[in-house]
Amino acid sequence: MPVPEKLRPEQLFNRCDPDAFEFNTTADLDGTAEIAGQERALEAIRLGMGIRRDGFNLFALGPAGTGKQSTVLQFLNNLAPGEARPDDWCYVYNFDKPRNPKALRLPPGRACKLSDDMAHLVETLFSVMPSAFSSEEYQTREKEIEESIHEQQASAIEALEQDAKEHSISLIRTPGGFAFAPLKKGEVIKPDDYMRLKEAERAKIEEQIDRLRDVLQSIMAQFPKWQRETAEKIKELNREVSAFALKPLMDEIRAKYKDLDEVLKYLDDVQNDIIENFIQFLEKESSEQGAMTMLASLRTAGQRQTMIRYRVNVMIDNSELNGAPVILEDKPASQNLIGDIEHSAQMGTLVTDFTLIKPGALHRANGGYLILDARRLLLEPFAWEALKKAIRTRQIRIESLAQLYSLVSTISLEPEPIPLEIKVILLGERSLYYLLSSYDPDFNELFKIAADFENDMPRNDETQLAYARLIGSMAELDKLLPFDRTAVARIIEHGSRMAGDATRLTSNLQNIRDLAHEADHHAAQNGRKEVVAEDVEAMLEAQRYRASRIQERLRDNMMQGTILIDTDSEKTGQINGLSVYSLGDQSFGSPSRITARVRLGKGVVIDIEREVEMGGPIHSKGVMILSGFLGSRYAAEQPLSLSATLVFEQSYGGVEGDSASSAELYALLSAISGIPIRQWLAVTGSVNQHGEVQAIGGVNEKIEGFFDLCNERGLDGRHGVLIPASNVKHLMLRQDIVKAVESGLFSIWPVSHIDEGIELLTGIPAGEMDETGAWPEGTVNAKVYERLKTMAEKQKSFGKKQGDEPDK
């Protein structure tokens, strides 16, 4: 199998030509950011927002920073202005059930007008009502009613008094009431004289007094009835006067809302209540000068309660809205979503009323769109269940959490629920979407559309121009210096590096924005009016430097010999593998020594990392594949009679991934054949049972990690790295590495098969099996085959000797 050619310098970095752009700086662009590379997600958003059916809400999933929120907002901000404005909503007092405030629906902008009209009505009544009840006509009629009962009472008493006089009995008024006394010649008989009267005469007098007393009692029994009749007449008079004073004001308000039946019904209830409780609008005066302050305070409190009773609590005012609302709720707590019922402390007691009902994000977004961060939503207690309930029932029911969960023992309100018509968009990671889909039975029913945002996008002329427009919009929005075409080109190149693919661009717009801010700062410090490629490169280097402390410590330990990494000699069963370390959002590569030892055995390749539980399952799988490759290639017709051990030397933090499986196989082949491996070369790549080298991740970081060590020790033209051929398209290496390759000081080989790699690592041909199944003499494969054959024969001979022992 021929040895692959080294990669050329232009294959190591996909350069973006600044001259391909027609603009000089981003200030020449129109400042609009295009949504590029997210066609799949945009199609899902378009479908989800277009279907007006239950459950067709949207979950936008993808890594953080991919522009989910900005893309959704941009789409909705273009869509919403063309839709109808939703109605206003307000809560009013329920005169039949005070604990259940009524919800009123009004056309946009009319809820606040109703609130103003009711406030003006109450204010007017405090002057109109006292005037009506202090009028001469009212006082005259009230006086007539009161005098009527007095005359009726006086007439009855007068008739009784006349009756008594005709029977020589006097009706006497005393502080304790009425009394009867006999008369003689017009004078009241004295008690002694009365006792000297004949018994028959006394009996006759007492009989008359008893009769008169019965008549008096019957008269007195009618007094409460007459008083009730009088009170009813006065009450009716009060109703008539208050209605007369109120009617013009109410008719004026009714005329404004004659097209709204619910409002008219509410106004009827208000009118009836005011007529029944007109007294609250009458100012009472006191002649007690010392009590004036207290009475004034009580009167103010009473007026305030009256004003609250007839106030309108405007929940949603869409008068200034242009189209459907688009609401982004940053803190989706339960009370921020469905609203809340607040309480106030009065005289040491918590009280509330319908004016303390506060709207939530669902109220503000009703008739439009609500955007929520899924992770923040799930972190808020009760918020997820509250949102699902609102979507499922299609209504917003405000419930006080404190009352619902018995946190406070106060009487609360139960407002009438408001109908809900909304599209909810959740933003979150893919893992969160799949967890909800698997474990929440309501999720798939309520969020039927998934907009899956790409981690990256194809790199072509169209997307590069879209990147330029994106950078221009960032500069305009964030008040940054304009970026010239060289700076834009360098950011695009870095976008490919972040994507880990020279043919694609990252969709992580947050990192691009951060880089733009840093480059702007560097340009401003250097007195430039434009951001150039030098500023971008300086900030990229600053980012690498800030994150390089651990990387430099590892390299220092390698330079000092604390960590053993050989880059000069040739060793049998030893190779330099390449690993990637991830720390937060930064990662770097570093070489690791991998060693293999073989001996006679039963065909087992022991992964020491796995045996001590420091190796992950994927790494263990990669090692087990090696046994399959060795057995099928070299021991198809004979036992695989070796026992091998593999280990990452000086590894103390565990190993995971299969990217070192090709390096481990090379080490095994070297240990079996006895052919040394060139330590100035490092290897990365996974391998399958057919010996094919497969792509791995972090190829740029791995190459750079080995290059940095070799460069510090001194490049001599031999150093290089073997990578999978399928990873060539992912290369976006640093410029110092590209220059080193161009100068012949460093090399990178693309490898497709294990035979290509072993030939590069040993300098000896791998060899290809002929038609008879033999390997060319002197090749690596031939030496491996012969060694395994010898080991199998030894194993067989040992077996025979052990079988002869019982006969001796």
Q: What is the DSSP letter of 412?
A: -
The dihedral over CA atoms of 104, 107, 109, 115, expressed in degrees to the nearest 10, equals -30
Q: Which two tokens stand for residue 368?
A: 């439009």
Q: What is the pLDDT of residues 56-83, one digit of tens each?
A: 999 999 988 888 888 899 899 999 999 9
On whether residue 257 sits in a domain, the answer given is no
Does 680 or 193 have the greater pLDDT score?
A: 680
Give the end of a domain, one of 453, 486, 516: 453
The answer to whether residue 443 is domain-embedded is: yes
Q: By C-alpha distance, which of 103, 34, 101 is closest to 67?
A: 34
> Does the structure show a pLDDT above 70 at 707?
yes
Residue position matching structure tokens 């707590």 = 333
Whether the predicted pLDDT of 185 surpasses 90 = no
Separation CA 647–CA 610 (nearest Å)? 9
Per-residue model confidence (pLDDT) at position 407: 57
What's the domain count of the chain?
3
Residue 101: its H or E element: none
User: How much is the average pLDDT of 781-800?
Assistant: 86
Tell me which of 633 and 804 has the higher pLDDT: 633
Kindly state whether residues 342 and 378 are assigned to the same domain: yes
Distance CA 394, CA 227 (A): 56
Residue in this structure with the two tokens 């109120």, named with its chain if needed? 246
607's CB contacts (< 8 A; 6+ apart) are: 615, 619, 620, 623, 624, 646
Q: What is the pLDDT of residue 66?
A: 81
Cα 194 from Cα 182, distance rounded (Å) = 8
pLDDT tens digits, one per residue of 374-419:
999 999 999 999 999 999 999 999 987 665 565 555 667 889 999 9
CATH of the domain at 381: 3.40.50.300
- Evaluate if residue 542 carries a pLDDT over 90: yes
Structure confidence at residue 132 (pLDDT): 85
Task: Specify the residue for token string 């607040």.
Answer: 342
Domain assignment present for 712: yes
Report if residue 3 sits inside a domain: no
Whose tokens are 């009962």? That residue is 149
- Same domain, yes or no: 537 and 589: no
pLDDT-based confidence at residue 347 (cuts at 50, 70, 90): confident
Domain end among 389, 419, 453: 453
| Domain assignment of residue 461, given as a range | 9-34+456-546
Q: Is residue 171 part of a domain?
A: no
DSSP strands (E only) in 163-233: 169-174, 177-184, 187-188
Maximum Cα–Cα distance for the chain, whole Å?
A: 170
Same domain assignment for residues 786 and 660: yes
E strands along 429-526, which residues?
449-452, 456-458, 504-506
- 20 with 50, same domain? no
Q: Is the dihedral of CA 774, 777, 779, 784 positive or negative?
A: positive
Mean pLDDT of 520-544: 95
Are 402 and 532 contained in the same domain?
A: no
Q: Where are the alpha helices (DSSP H) in 51-135?
A: 68-79, 110-133
Given a cut of 50, whether residue 310 has pLDDT beyond it is yes
pLDDT at 34: 62
Strand order in the sheet with 169-174: 169-174, 177-184, 187-188
pLDDT category at 262 given cuts 50, 70, 90 is very high
Q: Is the pLDDT of residue 126 over 80?
A: yes
pLDDT of 301 over the 60 cut: no
User: Average pLDDT, stretch 440-457?
Assistant: 93
CATH number for the domain including 760?
3.30.230.10
What is the distance between the alpha carbons of residues 159 and 165, in angstroms, rounded to a whole number?
Answer: 10
- Answer yes or no: are the C-beta atoms of 31 and 467 closer than 8 Å: no
d(CA 539, CA 350): 57
CATH of the domain at 534: 1.10.8.60
Query: Same domain for 402 and 487?
Result: no
- pTM for this predicted structure: 0.80
Answer whether residue 291 shows pLDDT above 80: no
Structural domain contains residue 334: yes
Query: In the Cβ-directed half-sphere of 386, how many Cα atoms lie within 13 Å?
Result: 25
For residue 164, how many other CB atoms are within 10 A of its CB?
23
Highest mean pLDDT among 285-299, 378-392, 792-806: 378-392
Using CB atoms within 10 Å of the CB of residue 93, give its burial: 0 to 12 exposed, 13 to 18 middle, 19+ buried: buried
725 & 611 share domain: yes
Same domain for 433 and 463, yes or no, is no
Between 60-74, 106-120, 792-806, the lowest mean confidence (pLDDT) is in: 792-806
In terms of Cα–Cα distance, which of 315, 347, 313, 342 is closest to 402? 342
Instruction: With respect to residue 598, please indicate whether it lies within any of the assigned structural domains.
Output: yes
Residue 729 sits in the same domain as residue 779: yes
Strands 326-329 and 340-341: unpaired
Say yes or no to pLDDT of 369 above 60.
Answer: yes
Catalytic residues: 659, 702
Distance CA 463, CA 39 (A): 12
More confident residue, 496 or 584: 496
Among the listed ranges 139-143, 360-364, 629-633, which one has the minimum average pLDDT value?
139-143
Instruction: Examine the domain organization and report whether 612 and 761 are in the same domain.
Output: yes
Checking if the pLDDT of 91 tops 90, the result is yes
Per-residue pLDDT for 623 more than 90?
Answer: no
Average pLDDT, the chain: 87
What pLDDT does residue 405 have? 61
Q: Are residues 434 and 362 both part of a single domain?
A: yes
Residue 742 lies in a domain: yes
pLDDT at position 114: 95
pLDDT value at residue 103? 95
- Residue 678 sits in the same domain as residue 702: yes
pLDDT at 286: 38
Closest residue by Cα to residue 274 from 166, 133, 135, 129: 129
Of the CA atoms within 13 Å of residue 804, those in its CB half-sphere come to 6
Average pLDDT over residues 568-573: 95
Domain boundary among 419, 453, 487: 453
Question: How far is residue 420 from each of residues 362, 370, 374, 439, measured CA to CA in Å?
Answer: 8, 12, 20, 26
User: Are 643 and 597 contacting, i.e. CB atoms less than 8 angstroms apart?
Assistant: no
Chain centroid to Cα 300, Å, comes to 45
Of residues 724 and 31, more confidently modeled: 724
